Amino acid sequence: MATTSSSPDRIATLDIVRGVAVMGILAMNIVAFAMPVGAYMNPMAYGSETSLDLAAYAFNFILIDGKMRGLFSFLFGASMLLVIEKAEAKGLNSASVHYRRMLVLLLFGAMHFYLIWFGDILFGYALIGMVAWFFRNMAPRKLIALGATLIFLQFLIMASFAYSAQGLSVAASQPGASADTVAAWKEMSLWVRVPSSVELAEQMGRALGPWTSLVHYQLTEHRWEPLIFSLTFGPETLGYMLFGMAALKSGFFAGSWDEQSYTRVAVRGFLIGIPIYLVIVSLIFLDGFSPVGLFWLAMVATVLVRPIMIVAVAALIIILTDQGGWLVERIAAAGRAAFTNYLGTSILMTGLFYGWGLGLFGELSRAELWLVVIAAWVVMLAWSKPWLERFEYGPLEWLWRSLSRGSLQPMRKPALPAVV
């Protein structure tokens, strides 16, 4: 069932799934670009005025939130292993090749976080990718077993976090609670609760202020956040990368399984995952989007079922794109230029919503943001294929490759000879 590729050294299925993943990531990140931080997990925090907005939240929660990021992590592990294997096949020092790539990616991630947008994932990918190197030679079954163990560890970490949050919430609500306790709860729950008018004004002012103020805020108030985030979600991220390596070794990401096998994976995954997610999102609505409820339901209850959904989504993508076509070719091109599309999207979205650009922060509802998402998808699909018909790599892929190798890499494709 493998799909052909325009380049003999690429696996087209990887590019296609990566293209869908980088497009899907924006569908969830758009809320964090366009609204105060609490709105990402709590629709009551901002931007939900109609039932359509709440439906958009539920749709994203069930099918997109965490699945596209997880799929991107799977693909990162698979692509990382592919680079290592190609380096070894050429007789190169694969460790040197790998760690130079990760160090350059670490630099890109830091620049992304401090200079462009707080939602960076590249810094963590680089750090965890350095650890994933040590598991490159494991058999698929062992990779899956170790990955599952890491996912369970992530579940325990998030459960411990939610338990602490619940205790702090109770302590902060008691009569005579200390100012430090109340402040600690406000800080801990900032990402999941409705902001106060003062907090909302601060966030709006910061987003709509000058770019230099945003950079200063990141460098002073959140200087350690990339490292903290990487450590907090490290087990899950590493587990996903190991799953991706196993998927490549088993032929799943190569598109070499038969259609019945992919269908079986997709159907079983969705039959397990979707009902559980429906129950979770229903409980969130019934609970009234309370901060403690969101900690337990959105951050803990989803950890163990999310990998099942990710694999099902990947299988469905492979099934639906098996026959190729003009749209699939453009999605594959977007996947080949995923690094450029990911960072380019951050620049485009912050330019659209932040004060240094058009300043639309807080202006659109959750449902209206889908219009922006679709427009950005059109841009990704429109530029990637024509560019890659003329050049070997996307712009930032070329820069990453050149910096990793310490020399400028050939960019433009050689002209094809004329046919008489």
Q: How far apart are the first and last CA of the chain?
A: 35
In a domain, 182, yes or no: yes
In a domain, 45, yes or no: yes
In a domain, 38, yes or no: yes
Q: How far is CA 102 from the centre of its chain?
A: 17
Nearest C-alpha neighbor of 273 from the set 26, 18, 61, 1: 61
Other C-beta atoms within 10 Å of 2: how many? 14
Rounded CA separation 59/79 (Å): 29
Q: Phi and psi of 391, rounded to 5°?
A: -125, 155
Structural domain count, the chain: 1
Rounded CA separation 106/126 (Å): 5
The pLDDT score that the predictor gives to residue 416 is: 58
Rounded CA separation 101/154 (Å): 26
Task: Map residue 302 onto helix, strand or coil.
Answer: coil
Range of the domain at 161: 12-405
The pLDDT score that the predictor gives to residue 414 is: 82
pTM of the model: 0.95
In a domain, 324, yes or no: yes
Q: Phi and psi of 145, rounded to 5°?
A: -65, -45
CA dihedral of residues 298, 309, 71, 127 (deg, nearest 10): 50
In a domain, 99, yes or no: yes
The pLDDT score that the predictor gives to residue 420 is: 46
Specify the DSSP class assigned to residue 412: B
Which H or E element spans position 19? helix 12-34
Rounded CA separation 248/86 (Å): 14
Rounded CA separation 393/172 (Å): 53
Q: How far is CA 77 from the centre of its chain?
A: 13
> Each residue's pLDDT tens digit in the chain (420 positions)?
645 444 556 799 999 999 999 999 999 999 999 999 999 999 999 999 899 999 999 999 999 999 999 999 999 999 999 999 999 999 999 999 999 999 999 999 999 999 999 999 999 999 999 999 999 999 999 999 999 999 999 999 999 999 999 999 999 999 999 999 999 999 999 999 999 999 999 999 999 999 999 999 999 999 999 999 999 999 999 999 999 999 999 999 999 999 999 999 999 999 999 999 999 999 999 999 999 999 999 999 999 999 999 999 999 999 999 999 999 999 999 999 999 999 999 999 999 999 999 999 999 999 999 999 999 999 999 999 999 999 999 999 999 999 999 999 999 988 756 554
One-letter amino acid of 104: V
In a domain, 1, yes or no: no
In a domain, 413, yes or no: no
The pLDDT score that the predictor gives to residue 7 is: 54
